[in-house]
Chain A
Amino acid sequence: LAKTTQPISMDSYEGQEVNITCSHNNIATNDYITWYQQFPSQGPRFIIQGYKTKVTNEVASLFIPADRKSSTLSLPRVSLSDTAVYYCLVGDIRNTGFQKLVFGTGTRLLVSP
C-alpha cells in the first residue's frame, strides 16, 4: 500500500472552507484514494473516494492532480461538528490486500466558533 503523508493538525473557524492535502508519491496505477472521518470513540466513516480529477458528493470534494501524487479533501463551510480526525488512504480496492486498510495518524481538524 502506498504510504501517505498528511498534516498532523489543522485549525479553522465555522463557515470557512478547509482543504486537507495528502501526499502519496508512490501511488500505483490501480490505486484509489479514499478519505475517512473519525470522531472520538467512534469508528471511522467513509467520506469520499476517487481515482483522478475531481469527485464531489454531498459532504466533500476530492481533488486529484494529473500526476496523482497528492490529493486534497475539501470541506465547504465547516461547522463545529466537523471537528474530527481525517484519514487519507491509498490502495487498489480491487486487490484483496486493500481489504486491510492501513490508516496513518490522520489530520486532526479543530473547528472553532
Chain B
Amino acid sequence: EAGVTQSPTHLIKTRGQQATLRCSPISGHTSVYWYQQALGLGLQFLLWYDEGEERNRGNFPPRFSGRQFPNYSSELNVNALELEDSALYLCASSPTVGQGREQYFGPGTRLTVT
C-alpha cells in the first residue's frame, strides 16, 4: 500500500512570493491534515480537510490556505511568503472522521524562504 506522498521535496522561494505544496493521501483516506515544523520546534497544526471541506485550522494567518480535491488530494498555499515561513511542511491522512485511530504522515516538503 502506497503511503502519503508530498511534492515537491524541496522548495526555495523568495520573500513575498507564493508557494504551493501538494499532498496525496493513502488510498481510501478522506481526511488530510497539514502541519508546520520549524527547525528545532514541534509540529504546529495548520489545516484539516475532510470530504473536500475545511474542518479546522490552527492559529495561522489567512495567507495560509488550502483545498482538497474530489480525489482527496490536497494543496497548501502560502501567500506573501515571509522568512519565518521556512519550515518542514508535513501532510498526514487518516480514514473518515470517527474511524481513524492514527494519522499517517508523508515525508514532508522543506520550504526555504530567502
Contact = CB atoms under 8 A, between A and B. Distances in A.
Interface residues of B, number: 31
A45 B91 CA distance: 12
B39 to A, nearest CB: 10
- Main secondary structure, interface of B, reads strand
Please report whether the interface of chain A is mostly helix, strand, loop or mixed according to DSSP.
loop
Interface in A81-107: 87, 93-94, 96-97, 99-106
B110 A93 contact: no
A104 B41 CA distance: 9
Given A101-B43, A105-B42, A41 B88 contact: yes
Contacts of B48: 99-100
Give the size category of A's interface with B.
20 to 34
B86 to A, nearest CB: 14
Interface of A: 32, 34, 41-46, 49, 87, 93-94, 96-97, 99-106
Interface of B: 4, 31, 33, 35, 41-45, 48, 50, 55-56, 58, 88, 90-92, 94, 97-98, 100-108, 110
